[in-house]
Amino acid sequence: MNLVGSEKLQKMTASIFQEIADRKMEAIKNGKDVIDLSVGSPDFAPPSFVVDALVESAKDTSKYGYTLKGIGEFNEAVGYFYKQRYHVDLDPANEVLQLMGSQDGLAHLATAIINPGDYVLVPDPGYPIYEASVNIAGGIIYPMPLLAENKFLPNLHDIPKDVLQKTKMMIISYPGNPVTALADKVFFEKVVEFARTHNILVVHDFAYSELIFDEHPQISFMSIVGAKEVGIEFNSLSKSFNMAGCRIGYVVGNPQAIQLLATFKSNIDYGVFYPIQKAAVKALTSDFAYLREQVKEYELRRDALISGLEKSGWKVKKSPATMFVWAKIPSGWTSRQFAFELIDRAGVAVIPGDAFGALGEGYVRIAMVQPPERLTEAAERIEQFLAEVVEK
Ligand SMILES: Cc1ncc(COP(=O)(O)O)c(C=O)c1O
């Protein structure tokens, strides 16, 4: 049989992530010690009280059936968390929907909302599922450039009128992946106004809401006046509580949009394993000391990496948030060349920026998923690598 993937599949971009993984494996096979800073899967353990809740609940054999949708307790816990952390009031029954990770919702939302031919405004660079979800739905992507000179905020005035007339949805993420920038309240207020004027659903991805450094404020899009009328916000326990493999997240905000996604999901999945929901409730209703400690750990990692890179002569901007550094590479390289050579010669794996969109060219994304000592070592290897290539 000769089976070729669909046109939609061919538009997806698994290839570069796979290529980095293959190169990494090849280097390891050749006896190289590779410091893997490519994939954004947290290496920290979830809080022990969350693990205990999961284990305890897993002993109850009556809880192994389909759960269909989130238990009420979970929605209440999200409401509590949003109130405590971001001063946002939510109606747990209508303004919260549980997801199998925020990816589940991000992947399916476009299909639930748009028709083929509708436009969706998507950040470039941006997290790959944004674009993929629009392709799955048959929509048209209108990239919003995120440029350093604009503090990585899109310029909403640059979007042509005829595009806006056909636009149904826009996706933003602050702090985001791979661009780690934060947005201020004024920007979010402009987005609400813009969405109202043009009747556009705003989708804010807030997956890194709990990895914000240096006492910067954690601004939920939902805390902006009028946001619930025009928008929804995705969030997750993957990065906040290191539960990435548990596959549990949620979306909050506009009840109509949430209902549409819920209807879509009711056709394709049967819910999250009950003990995972119980563990998530425990996490969301804890005292948050864990979150404060974790931010400190990531700050240490970031500082170790940035100061190490500085020593190497590679000046990289300090991330204000997230588990990533979005690093402009030295001139004379493409992102891919740089990332490939870095694995082959220095044994450090990062992701080339063009994996996240055309404007990611000239950057690499470095994931801080190793302890500070290992990040310092990575920076030392990079220093040696840069010295060698300059001498060449
Ligand atoms: C920006 C962003 N959004 C969403 C996700 C999906 O996370 P999850 O499905 O684990 O909640 C990720 C994962 O890396 C991410 O980086």
- Asked if residue 237 lies in contact with residue 290, where contact means CB atoms within 8 angstroms, the answer is no
Q: What is the pLDDT of residue 11?
A: 77
- What residues form DSSP beta bridges with 367? 324
Task: Report the nearest atom of ligand 1 relative to the CA of 104.
Answer: 9
Instruction: Give the single-character DSSP code of 46.
Output: P
The whole-angstrom separation of Cα 255 and Cα 207 is 20
Q: What is the pLDDT of residue 165?
A: 97
CB neighbourhood size of 379 (10 A): 24
Q: Where are the alpha helices (DSSP H) in 30-124?
A: 48-58, 72-86, 102-113
The whole-angstrom separation of Cα 124 and Cα 359 is 6
Count Cβ neighbours within 10 Å for each residue of 180-219 and write b for 16 or more, e otherwise.
bbbbeeebbeebbebbeebebbbbbbbbbbbbbbeeeebb
Pick the residue whose CA is nearest to atom 3 on ligand 1. 207
Residues whose beta carbon lies within 6 Å of some atom of ligand 1: 40, 101-103, 106, 127, 173, 176-177, 205, 207, 236, 238, 244, 249
Q: What is the pLDDT of residue 391?
A: 58
Place of tokens 């082959």: 344
Q: What is the pLDDT of residue 232?
A: 98
- Cα(322) to centroid of ligand 1, in Å? 11
- Asked if residue 221 lies in contact with residue 175, where contact means CB atoms within 8 angstroms, the answer is no
Pairing assessment for the beta strands 351-352 and 363-367 based on DSSP bridges: antiparallel
Q: What is the pLDDT of residue 69?
A: 86
Question: CA gyration radius for the chain?
Answer: 21
Task: Report the nearest atom of ligand 1 relative to the CA of 322.
Answer: 16
Task: Report the nearest atom of ligand 1 relative to the CA of 247.
Answer: 10
- Cα(386) to centroid of ligand 1, in Å? 32
Q: Is the full-model pTM beyond 0.85?
A: yes
The whole-angstrom separation of Cα 199 and Cα 372 is 46
HSE-CB for 219 with a 13 A CA cutoff: 19
pLDDT tens for the chain, residues 1 to 392: 999 999 888 877 667 888 899 999 999 998 899 999 999 899 999 999 999 999 999 999 999 999 998 999 999 999 999 999 999 999 999 999 999 999 999 999 999 999 999 999 999 999 999 999 999 999 999 999 999 999 999 999 999 999 999 999 999 999 999 999 999 999 999 999 999 999 999 999 999 999 999 999 999 999 999 999 999 999 999 999 999 999 999 999 999 999 999 999 999 999 999 999 999 999 999 989 999 999 999 999 999 999 999 998 899 999 999 999 999 999 999 999 999 999 999 999 999 999 999 999 999 999 999 999 999 999 999 999 999 886 55
Pocket test of ligand 1: the residue of 239, 240, 365 to mutate, having most ligand atoms within 8 Å of its CB, is 239
- What residues form DSSP beta bridges with 8? none
Place of tokens 């209108």: 142
Task: Report the nearest atom of ligand 1 relative to the CA of 106.
Answer: 4
CA 120 to chain centre: 18
Q: What is the pLDDT of residue 392?
A: 54
Residues near 137 by beta carbon (within 8 Å), at least 6 away in sequence:
110, 111, 113, 114, 116
Helix 372-391 / helix 289-311 crossing angle, nearest 10 deg: 20
Instruction: Retrieve residue 251's tokens.
Output: 């979306």
